Amino acid sequence: MDKMKVVGGKALRGTVRTSGAKNSALKLLFATLLAEGKHTFHNVPKLMDVDSSATLLESLGAIVTRKGHTVTVEVKAPGSFEANYDLVRKMRASILCLGPLLTKYGQAQVSLPGGCAIGSRPINLHLDGMKAMGADIELRNGYVHASAKRLKGTNILFEFATVGGTENIMMAATLADGVTTIENAAKEPEIVDLANYLVKMGAKIEGAGTSIIKITGVDKLKPAEHTVIPDRIEAGTLIIAAAIAGGDVTVADCVPEHLEALLAKLREAGYGIETAATSVRVRSTGGAKCVDVTTAPHPGFPTDLQAQFMALMCVSEGVSLITETVFENRFMHVTELQRLGADINPKSRVAVVRGKPGGLEGAPVMATDLRASASLVLAALASRGTTTVSRIYHLDRGYEQLELKLASLGANIERIKSDGSDDSELA
């Protein structure tokens, strides 16, 4: 498997552009199942998770074509309504085909996603919502078997503002009979992007981006064309890279309003942050200090930037308390950061980081999940000597050419292609 080799100590300078949002693109691709015909998306990032979604759509009879960053999906009535285990286990977001298939064709069989490195991540809220809309749901042989003549609009109150649950129910409700109201809906920008596309397809949706979303079902939707929003997590990762390595970097083609929680924390830590309409400039003047961070659903501090921010705290002055409230097991990067010399004491959902400016030293480390991998690459930028990060297939799931983007800013980073000799790691 490929590895990333990073030699730390280089300041970053220049401008780098943000790619399209992974977490938007995946949902948009699954939304195509709501209308037969040709859907077109621009600014689709080149990522493994996007490829996995395309493979799943193809297994349902669609033809997916990519030209650069434009993807077209030609949807036909599927011969089967099954999302099989091999496809779903590679990417949990595959569960997002359940709502569209069920509401459009009255049936779906989707493999249960199973456990995940960052916590158990159940789908009970998705299923309860669909049951409340009149679906018959059974769990058999590791699959969700769902059926319904036509889903019926109803009121759904989520106990937790689930991103995937909000998206699945919103898509299911577009073709349901009557009005569905989602209360305590998640407010992430990717949900707004999905709603915008569904509205282009002919759906009636109000309130996306607030905690109450109202969807009035229609009889039919049609394919449309859309440009994916910029990836706020990738932009945030690049911004933290500039902060941790030092220097002066402009992250272009992003939406600064989507990054407010991060930017506020960076300002508090002492970084110079300037925003323009579609870019963020970050300047490090040295001596940044530790600040406390608690993750929360949007517009709170994103859990998907927690690991990267922890890496930054490891080399800042003082002590930082990092509290993870969204997932129960999202500190797997801690032991790897400790291999670089970080002083972190994790207890349940809170980690105490004692910052050591200039105190990290390169080492071989291993990526455990997507955002953890990014945190190791960032920590390596601030470490003395060489770090090799293995299992970077996690990184490739969610970052488009991160190493090339960092290298273009002056980082000493390169991908070492696998010669196959160490693939026993896979086991």
Q: Which residues bind ligand UD1 (CB under 6 A)?
A: 23, 26, 93, 119, 121-126, 160, 162-165, 186, 303-304, 326-327
Residue type, 80: S
Nearest distance from C-beta of residue 87 to ligand UD1, angstroms: 15
Q: What is the DSSP letter of 177?
A: B
Structure tokens at 196: 């915008």
In the bound complex, which residue of the shown chain has the CB atom lying closest to ligand UD1?
164
Nearest distance from C-beta of residue 359 to ligand UD1, angstroms: 29
Find the catalytic residue in 116, 254, 290, 314. Answer: 116
CB 3 within 8 A of CB 187: no
**Continuous segment of H or E residues that includes residue 416:** strand 412-416
Nearer to ligand UD1, 271 or 327 (CB): 327
Nearest distance from C-beta of residue 165 to ligand UD1, angstroms: 5
Sequence length of the chain is: 427
Cα 196 from Cα 72, distance rounded (Å): 18
Nearest Cα to Cα of residue 390 among 360, 358, 359, 424 = 424
Task: Respond yes or no: is residue 290 known to be catalytic.
Answer: no
Nearer to ligand UD1, 251 or 326 (CB): 326
**How far is residue 333 from each of residues 92, 311, 366, 378, 422, measured CA to CA in Å?**
20, 9, 9, 12, 22
Nearest distance from C-beta of residue 73 to ligand UD1, angstroms: 18
Q: What is the DSSP letter of 119?
A: B
Nearest distance from C-beta of residue 186 to ligand UD1, angstroms: 6
Is 139 buried (19+), middle (13-18) or exposed (0-12) by CB count in 10 A? exposed
- Which residue's structure tokens are 């030609």? 74
CB-CB neighbours of 112 under 10 Å: 16
Nearer to ligand UD1, 3 or 330 (CB): 330
Nearer to ligand UD1, 397 or 405 (CB): 397
Nearest Cα to Cα of residue 316 among 362, 347, 285, 346 = 285
Nearest distance from C-beta of residue 408 to ligand UD1, angstroms: 25
Nearer to ligand UD1, 122 or 358 (CB): 122
Q: What angle do CA 145, 150, 155 make, to 5 degrees?
A: 90
Cα 178 from Cα 183, distance rounded (Å): 16
Nearer to ligand UD1, 119 or 358 (CB): 119
Cα 246 from Cα 52, distance rounded (Å): 36
Nearer to ligand UD1, 6 or 127 (CB): 127
Q: What angle do CA 147, 149, 151 make, to 5 degrees?
A: 85
Count H helices, E strands: the chain? 14, 24
Nearest distance from C-beta of residue 175 to ligand UD1, angstroms: 21
Q: Report the catalytic residues.
A: 116
